[in-house]
Amino acid sequence: MTVRSSDNQDEHYKDAKSSYFNLPALDVSEAFPQATPASIFPPCTSDYYQLDDLLTPEEQGLRMKVRECMEKEIAPIMAKYWEKAEFPFHVVPKLGALGIAGGTIKGYGCPGVSITANAICAAEIARVDASCSTFILVHSSLGMLTISIGGSEAQKQKYLPSLSQLKTIACWGLTEPDYGSDASSLKTTATKVDGGWILEGQKRWIGNSTFADVLVIFARNTTTNQINTFLVMKDAPGLQATKIENKIGLRIVQNGDIVLKRVFVPDEDRLPGINSFQDTNKVHYPWETDGPILGFLVAYSLTALCKQVLAASRLMVAWQPIGISMGVYDMCHRYLKERKQFGAPLAAFQLTQQKLVCMLGNIQAMILVGWRLCKLYDSGKMTPGRVSLGKAWITSKARETTSLGRELLGGNGILTDFLVAKAFCDLEPIYTYEGTYDINTLVAGREITGIASFKPAPSAQRSRL
């Protein structure tokens, strides 16, 4: 047997290819004219129980403003950028013009909207593209909110106005290669030196990190062994952030590995409100302060800060799968009425109607749970267990809903052109971040039983066998 060299093999297979092998793909509207692709986004038919009736006129108006922008500006380009795993920087000014960055933060150019309005915005963005929703949430509900809670007045005045307009971008660096769910054990260190701090360590899975202007970094103070928070500027000497490749979901989001090699941070860029990891029994949720939270400076432990920030961000994340499921349903609803087989629209068949109704029922329940969580937040009755249960349950129902949508679209259910395949993949990281499904159930379980079960019981030194 003659074995060709690799060069000869390439020539052989080149000769075997057809004359049309390298032609560009047909446009989907030409290749499959029977159904409209997601670049022309379908009208919203998924709000069957009319959530709008529960919203204020201001919340309704903001919802429609965000929906219009997403359908017009993002829907036509999302599949292209998702496939390339690239970020569409040219749409950032358009997202900034919506005036939603900063969410519930009052002052400093931030919108100061209700928690419900903030949640509705997260859902409306995710309905069209989950990556854009994650980009905003990382920037706003994590990065900006941490500065607004733990930062000094000078820091808030310096950073929040430009962040609120998306003229500058933030990321939030807590997770490390060795510490995900167990983030409080992080190893990145901060060593005090004259005029500032030296940061050493690594972070992983940090959204927006490859292009963020302001990196909110959590590090362990080598003197106190407590965790402090620092603002690291883009291109600081010793800082490196590189893109994580080969993701199957949220491909537009630029998740990065951050490496900090003797990065100097001046004293004025350490957040003074975060001084201790130890629980000081001053766990302040926004509703527990005597005055407006944004003007209230308290020495937060990391536990306190994370409880406050994550209570809000986990609630926002719970609304992402609601929006994703709505978009999937809207796409399926239109597709089933357009696509014909056996001489009739797919929507005319009993099996497809049953699946469509199951999806719609899931969505109504998800919306009502999400809305109720917002009201609990407003009334001061939100607890870590309640928001964790909501996030876990909603994401699990969203998985079921998108899976049904994938079935309904048949072969087109694996194409990003028709949204469902992309949404199916985008939901997987959301199912995991802001607390995995299992961790969130344990948070709720601890609250309802009074027993923490996060760590396994210590094993006996000697086996009884």
* Tens of pLDDT, residues 86-113: 999 999 999 999 999 999 999 999 999 9
- Across 334-359, average pLDDT: 97
Quick: pLDDT tens for 145-168.
Answer: 999 999 999 999 999 999 999 999
Q: Whole-angstrom Cα distance, residue 282 to residue 304?
A: 7
**What percent of the chain lies above the pLDDT cut of 70?**
87
Indicate the angle between helix axes 384-408 and 302-338, nearest 10 degrees.
20
Q: What are the CB-based long-range contacts (under 8 Å, 24+) for 158-161?
A: 159/214, 159/231, 160/102, 160/105, 160/108, 160/109, 160/110, 161/108, 161/109
Q: What average pLDDT score do residues 59-68 get? A: 98
275 touches 226 (CB < 8 A): yes
Q: Hey, what amino acid is at 29? A: S
pLDDT at 283 over 90: no
Confidence label for 297 from pLDDT (cuts 50, 70 and 90): very low
Average pLDDT, integer, range 101-127: 97
Q: State how far the Cα of 258 lies from the Cα of 186, in Å rounded to an integer.
A: 14
Interior/surface letters 239-272, b for 16+ CB within 10 angstroms, e for the rest: bbbeebeebebbbbbbbbbbbbeebbbeeebbbb
Of 31-40, 112-121, 266-275, 303-312, minimum mean pLDDT range? 303-312
Q: Higher confidence at residue 278 or residue 273?
A: 273
Residue for token pair 């497809």: 352
Higher per-residue confidence, 183 vs 281: 183
CB 293 within 8 A of CB 273: no
For the record, the structure tokens of 167 come out as: 């003229």
Q: Which residue has the higher pLDDT, 281 or 213?
A: 213
pLDDT at 294 over 90: no
Residue 180's pLDDT is 85
Mean pLDDT across the chain, nearest whole number?
Answer: 89
Distance CA 432, CA 224 (A): 32
Residue 441, pLDDT above cutoff 90: yes
Does the pLDDT at position 450 exceed 50?
A: yes
- The answer to whether residue 464 scores a pLDDT higher than 60 is no
Residue 455, pLDDT score: 74
Which amino acid makes up residue 219? A
Closest CA to 328 of 258, 421, 253: 421
Confidence class of residue 69 from pLDDT cuts 50, 70 and 90?
very high
Helices (H), 201-240: none
pLDDT at 157: 98
Task: Report the C-alpha gap between 25 and 18 in whole angstroms.
Answer: 15
pLDDT at 17: 86
pLDDT class of 2 with cuts at 50, 70, 90: low
> Quick one: pLDDT band at residue 304, thresholds 50, 70, 90?
low
- Tokens 């961000």 found at: 313
Identify the band that residue 50 occupies on the pLDDT scale cut at 50, 70 and 90.
very high
Distances in whole angstroms, Cα of residue 216 to Cα of each of 87, 151, 229, 254, 274 = 21, 11, 7, 16, 12
Amino acid 465: pLDDT: 42
Q: Tokens standing for 293?
A: 């939270």
Using the predicted structure, report yes or no on whether residue 212 has a pLDDT greater than 50. yes
